[in-house]
Structure 1
Amino acid sequence: METNMKRNKHPVASLMRRSLLVSAVFAAVSAHAAVSGCGTSCTDYLRPNVEAVPLTQARIDASAGSLAKDFTTYLAASKKAMDADKATLRSERQGLSSVPKSRASDKSSPDTMPLSESSSYYAGSKALGIAKEIISFQTPAGGWAKNMPRTGALRLKGQSFSTYTVNPATTAYEDWLWVGTLDNSATWTELRYLAKVQGAQSSDRAAIQASIVKGVNYLLNAQYPSGGWPQVYPLAGKYHDAVTINDDAMLSAIKLLREIGLNSNKDFSFLDASLRSKAAAAADKGVNWLLTNQVSINGKLTVWGQQHDALTQKPTPARTWEMAALTAQESAKIMSFLMALPSPDARTRAAVYGAADFFKATQINNKKWSSGKFIDASGTNSWARFYDLAFYTPTDATVSKRARALFGDKPELHGSNEYGLVFTSLAAFPAESLGYAWYGSTAQSVLTRFSDWSAKNARP
């Protein structure tokens, strides 16, 4: 006892040192626990996912080819628009004792802008209040953020345009999130709602119409020279720069601009002929992008990726669990849209038939995805959300060998230091851990329509 006391004249300090040593060792062990590839729970692990590459001037110079000048102009315009967005918010916040808290996020926000109400609703005070709120949150560039529930409460001076706490004084990616996007039905829903309100109201129409004009120009400015649309504009970097088919972002822009261009949606009939002409041209350019960039595997047209690189136009990853792959749900909606085009030419018919062939080859019969598992459901067919770009053999005897379904997960859940991980089944992680529908039945009704469509439109 005496000897121990002599060795430890300061027992508290000694315990603190020991505690720090243990913490350091634990930290070191933790740092080494993350491995390349998959570390734990690796059943059916295939490969690491990689991070998408943003659009940069260096990439444009190296690979944009004949569109290099146009992409350079686009990139400069995007930066100018973002600078203006930030400058507006900085100016508003000057002299404020505190910055107003950002609005709470709600993924069901599109429901607060209903598009199928009676004309009396859009002529009412509630609809007008929501329209005024929408206008107040419109960015200087002309777009809107996502997940913004509309209650009729106007944006406060200096308040963020998005549901994130943004800081326009820095250039860090994390300080400026989702300020102008097509993700989660944003921007195009606001435009459609405003158009209905302006058509029904007897007051404030000029302000609403001006906001719509600004928003339509936002869509025109956001379109890439190649014809696609990024997820976020002004460009935010990372996977947000990719041409985004996910959540029907690009398709929704095309549909709206096409309606405006054809003057088939009378809610927008107040727009002048020049803007309608530009909208029509942008929609046609978008349709051409879809027809040009439908993925072909072993000489056979399939469907589309969830995201495509802005320059290479090839499918690209997005979030850590979203790999470069074919996507079924959004592709089914593209196929449906193409079938609705009048007098389809040979390219359009080839695209539709190619997608139909893919969906017929990969359908899982009499199964429905529910609460993270398949259940028997007579008459219901399902498709995986993602399919491997390297595998498509439609003549194989079994569905699983015709195309390989892919699934993604966050690396930290598997002791990995990769960007993300790709699996060939859900055996390694809870199917609903990401709140993701890994299978869906969207293509079923589209194939039913295809049966009638193909009787009138021959395979080219």
Structure 2
Amino acid sequence: MKLKIFTLALGLLAVHYSAQAKDTLAEKMMIYQLPNGGWGKQLVDKSVVNYTLPVDKALLKKIKSTGDDHATIDNNATSREINALIKAYSATKNPEYVQAAERGIRYLILMQYDNGGFPQYYPNTGLYRKQITYNDNAMINALTVLYNVAEAKGDFSAVSSSLKEKSKTAVQKGIECILKTQVLQKGIPSIWADQYNEITLQPDKARAFEPVSLATGESVGIVRFLMLQPVTPEIEKSIKAAIQWFRKNKIEGYSYNVTKQNGKTVRVLAEDKNAVIWARFYDIHSNKPLFGDRDGSIKYNYNDVSEERRNGYSWFGDFAEKLLAKEYPKWLEKNKVSE
């Protein structure tokens, strides 16, 4: 009798645990996961992936019709889901979550080029999707996930040991690619472009309004990633060169204000003696701020950009302010590196 009661209690406990070991967001993310392990930012009908929507029959049909060609690391896709699943596993200990995350990690390792770069999409190679992509921090997001896996950071300690080793190799390859793609100006390293030809490792253009150029926001993300790594002469040189570039090319006396007027976004570059900003893009030779337009033309005067693109894209920001003021000095002190 006692044995039956004990067995029944264990059964009730198991039912209770399984009921608690669910995470609504993680459950949805597993539904959206593509066969190759990655995630898309859009569904087959080009609607944006939105995890707040209830998954009814119609939506489920669209999800299941979305193929591997939609798998991407653009707009935080795939890295976002892996991070969320690992967090959900930590909270619930539901093994399905870490297994789904591991499939995503395998996808990241699979999509990496032999030269260490990451395309924006894989296996889709259309248009600019095959380019090595720093734009919107795509490659750095992927490498940060793999770094957390390799180093067993926090909740990522749950990932299998075999994936940790593979991730460590992937991170080293990624660092080598980063160092190779830092743009040289008369032999002196500057910062990085948004995207690169996957074979030649030369800066390349993407959308019409994203010309060949140096990209400040993404370069700040790259420097932050390099500062996580053990200091080598190559990494130290790369970080210091980028910091010098940011110091030399800041724009003082202007602020960039974003407001709403009659329901529309309006972006205004205004004089402000206390402000420091950087342009989104700079000419890779002259370091002049530049701006791309829908027709593929390049402008060097912000006010010459069409109204649609001027207000529809973020052209300036305080991108490197925190990096210069706090993060870089802290990195110097922590690693006992001299300026």
- Normalised by the length of structure 1, the TM-score is 0.62
SS in 1 for 2:117: coil
SS in 1 for 2:252: coil
Cα offset, 1:133, TM superposition: 1.1
Describe the superposition over 1:377-406 as per-residue Cα deviations: whole angstroms up to 9, x where unpaired: 454311111111222xxxxxxxxxxx2111
User: Is 1:327–1:385's contact at 8 Å kept on the other side of the alignment?
Assistant: yes
SS in 2 for 1:322: coil
1:410 aligns with 2:286: no
Letter in 2 for 1:440: G
Q: C-alpha separation between the residues in 2 aligned to 1:339 and 1:141?
A: 32
1:259 aligns with 2:158: no
User: Is 1:407–1:423's contact at 8 Å kept on the other side of the alignment?
Assistant: yes
Cα offset, 1:410, TM superposition: 1.0
Match of 1:159 among 37, 61, 72: 61
Q: C-alpha separation between the residues in 2 aligned to 1:126 and 1:435?
A: 43
User: Is 1:144–1:180's contact at 8 Å kept on the other side of the alignment?
Assistant: yes
1:150 aligns with 2:45: no
Q: How does 1:26-65 map to 2 (within 5 A)?
A: none
Q: How does 1:176-187 map to 2 (within 5 A)?
A: 179-187=70-78
User: Is 1:406–1:424's contact at 8 Å kept on the other side of the alignment?
Assistant: yes
Name the one with the larger strand percent.
2
1:89 corresponds in structure 2 to none
1:241 corresponds in structure 2 to 130
Q: How does 1:193-232 map to 2 (within 5 A)?
A: 193-201=84-92, 205-232=94-121
User: Is 2:116–2:170's contact at 8 Å kept on the other side of the alignment?
Assistant: yes
1:374 corresponds in structure 2 to 269
Q: Structure 1 pair 233/365, CA: closer, same or farther in 2 (3 Å)? A: same
SS in 1 for 2:23: helix
Q: C-alpha separation between the residues in 1 aligned to 2:310 and 2:21?
A: 38
Letter in 1 for 2:329: S
Describe the superposition over 1:345-398 as per-residue Cα deviations: whole angstroms up to 9, x where unpaired: 11011101110111111101132211322234454311111111222xxxxxxx
Q: Using CA pairs below 8 Å that are at least 6 residues apart, which structure has the higher relative contact order? A: 1
Q: C-alpha separation between the residues in 1 aligned to 2:22 and 2:338?
A: 46
2:36 corresponds in structure 1 to 141
SS in 2 for 1:287: helix
SS in 2 for 1:380: strand
Letter in 2 for 1:197: A
Q: C-alpha separation between the residues in 2 aligned to 1:380 and 1:452?
A: 23
2:44 corresponds in structure 1 to none
Q: How does 1:302-381 map to 2 (within 5 A)?
A: 302-342=190-230, 344-371=231-258, 372-381=267-276
Identical columns (%): 29
User: Is 1:139–1:180's contact at 8 Å kept on the other side of the alignment?
Assistant: yes
Q: Structure 1 pair 282/302, CA: closer, same or farther in 2 (3 Å)? A: same
CA RMSD of aligned residues (A): 2.5
2:24 corresponds in structure 1 to 129
Structure 1 or 2, whichever has the larger Rg, is 1
Q: C-alpha separation between the residues in 1 aligned to 2:247 and 2:19?
A: 47
Q: C-alpha separation between the residues in 2 aligned to 1:407 and 1:305?
A: 14
Q: Structure 1 pair 126/181, CA: closer, same or farther in 2 (3 Å)? A: farther
Q: C-alpha separation between the residues in 2 aligned to 1:361 and 1:184?
A: 30
1:437 aligns with 2:318: no
1:280 aligns with 2:156: no
Q: C-alpha separation between the residues in 2 aligned to 1:124 and 1:188?
A: 27
Letter in 2 for 1:323: P
User: Is 1:161–1:179's contact at 8 Å kept on the other side of the alignment?
Assistant: no
Describe the superposition over 1:394-439 as per-residue Cα deviations: whole angstroms up to 9, x where unpaired: xxxxxxxxx211111112xxxxxxxx11111123222754621101
Describe the superposition over 1:249-283 as per-residue Cα deviations: whole angstroms up to 9, x where unpaired: 10011111011111122x22222211110011111
Q: Between Structure 1 and Structure 2, how many residues are aligned?
A: 303
SS in 2 for 1:200: helix
User: Is 2:26–2:85's contact at 8 Å kept on the other side of the alignment?
Assistant: yes
2:337 corresponds in structure 1 to 457
Cα offset, 1:239, TM superposition: 0.5
- Normalised by the length of structure 2, the TM-score is 0.82
Describe the superposition over 1:299-323 as per-residue Cα deviations: whole angstroms up to 9, x where unpaired: 1110001011100111111111110
Q: Structure 1 pair 423/260, CA: closer, same or farther in 2 (3 Å)? A: same
2:15 corresponds in structure 1 to none
Q: C-alpha separation between the residues in 1 aligned to 2:132 and 2:232?
A: 24
Q: Structure 1 pair 359/124, CA: closer, same or farther in 2 (3 Å)? A: farther
User: Is 2:119–2:131's contact at 8 Å kept on the other side of the alignment?
Assistant: yes
